[in-house]
Amino acid sequence: MIFVTIFSYPAERRQSVQARFKETKGMPPAGVKLLGRWHAIGGGKGVHICESDDPMALAKWVQEWSDLLSIEIYPALNDESAAKRIG
């Protein structure tokens, strides 16, 4: 299943977020495939598109960042799947 995650952080956490990102590259654990990541030009927020059939792996990734980031997760459909869904 495809997921969209939206992350944000306050300015006072910027240094900590950047340090962890440099250290870990922000890569997800086994069971989650990162399809793309975009960072807002102004900083403080961004988006991941990822794929996983393992909700626990996705939860693990979120947990690894939950001390620094606020993260929202939404399951998503591509156009073809959405068209099938709406008939």
Give the pLDDT confidence of 19-61 residue by residue, as tens digits.
Answer: 999 999 999 999 999 999 999 998 899 999 999 999 999 999 9
Mean pLDDT computed over 5-24: 96
Which pLDDT score is estimated for 85?
A: 84
The pLDDT confidence band at residue 86, using thresholds 50, 70 and 90, is: confident
CA distance 13 to 50: 24
Instruction: Give the predicted TM-score (pTM) of the model.
Output: 0.87
Structural domains in the chain plus CATH codes: 2-86 (3.30.70.1060)
Nearest alpha carbon to residue 50 among 76, 32, 68: 32
Which pLDDT score is estimated for 65?
A: 97
pLDDT above 80 for 87: no
